[in-house]
Structure 1
């Protein structure tokens, strides 16, 4: 066990739930130290405890934890990695993460679940997203992703959820095997999560909580109706 891993274990042993919530940050620069696979497995286990509409559990996670698979992801995701160009500071810090998890939503799981007898009366099993108030397959996968982020924080490591580059989504899907077939609709990536040991002494990004004021809950909560304030 390395010194950094020992420190992470000490942090994990001493954190309460409130500590985990307050300590979670988007880490954008990582050391090359490997991540204990048990940390990733525990985070995935916690992620599957997220709530889901109809208990559809329409999420999936593609875990990239080898240099080859991580490099393949960044090659598909970024022009700089693809062309062999020099990545900027942000990208270089992110690409150093030894683990990337791609959370994916499975719309078909919801349509199938709501076609079952106890849910069919809702009329949401048709292949028409307009029947749904929102695409809960994406929302539920996002909640599962937050539990994964919190679990990584609990282990004393860093993580960052980020969106895929819009015009590179198809390239990422192809790289990860997320391709529709005649029999099955492929899961859809809602973003990606880097996991690793934070680089010591790094400061937050310009738009992070270290540089900008965090809005107090009393300014965003409204009792009874919008505009009433707290």
Structure 2
């Protein structure tokens, strides 16, 4: 698929067909994600892959609020694969305290923005785009802060790894058009988002 078509077709898919996903497609998405930009080439974005029915069910058991069943949750539970991107602030602070970077005090305040999250976001986007290119659907969503500890315990995630969200993967149902907010809000023309030379109102 042409890159411009991948970009045009990418959107969050919240309901999936009852079909397994070829593990090779998941691996391809993760391989692409490993090519995302990485500040200092720290390479500290990692992925927890849940692709067995029991693992996926366990994920929803520990991350969804009890009794909060909704159409969104029912649709998302239908995904056969969940990928959790994780990053490590400590790995970035360690990397930039090395001789070729020279920030020996490891002060997080030196960072203009937390690049450990930026890099994880870019890696996640490559997973989403690869899903489109492979004919799959995907959705990036957040893990409630109060559920992170339960996620760590359920899947043995170390304390210094920070989940930035989760991505469902699966075969999309017949395309019925955008859902969620895009069905209620028009997309802003890209020209309205660009300010050339000076900010304009």
1:130-141 alignment, distance < 5 Å: 130-141=109-120
1:172-191 alignment, distance < 5 Å: 172-180=151-159, 186-191=160-165
Per-residue CA deviations over 1:105-133 (Å, capped at 9, x if unaligned) read 1112212211221111xx2x534322211
CA distance in 1, matches of 2:184, 2:23: 33
Provide the alpha-carbon RMSD of the alignment: 1.6
Gaps of 5+ in 2: none
Q: 2:49 aligns with which of 60, 63, 69?
A: 63
Name the counterpart of 2:98. 116
Matched, 1:29 2:15: yes
Task: Tell me the CA shift for residue 201 of structure 1.
Answer: 4.7
CA distance in 2, matches of 1:58, 1:22: 29
Name the counterpart of 1:157. 136
CA distance in 2, matches of 1:46, 1:206: 27
Name the counterpart of 1:225. 198
Task: Tell me the CA shift for residue 166 of structure 1.
Answer: 2.2
CA distance in 2, matches of 1:102, 1:127: 27
Task: Tell me the CA shift for residue 217 of structure 1.
Answer: 1.2
Name the counterpart of 1:12. none
CA distance in 2, matches of 1:86, 1:192: 18
1:40-59 alignment, distance < 5 Å: 40-59=26-45
TM-score by length of 2: 0.94
Residues 97 and 106 of structure 2 are in contact (CA less than 8 Å); yes or no, is this contact kept in structure 1? no
CA distance change for structure 1 residues 32 and 136 in 2, over 3 Å: closer, same or farther? same
Per-residue CA deviations over 1:56-102 (Å, capped at 9, x if unaligned) read 1220100000011111110111123xxxx582211011001000000
Aligned to 1:79, what secondary structure does the other structure show? coil
Number of residue-to-residue matches in the alignment: 201
Per-residue CA deviations over 1:118-165 (Å, capped at 9, x if unaligned) read 111xx2x53432221111001101000001100011000000000111
CA distance in 2, matches of 1:162, 1:106: 19
Name which one, 1 or 2, has greater alpha-carbon Rg: 1
TM-score by length of 1: 0.82
Name the counterpart of 1:9. none
CA distance in 1, matches of 2:65, 2:131: 29
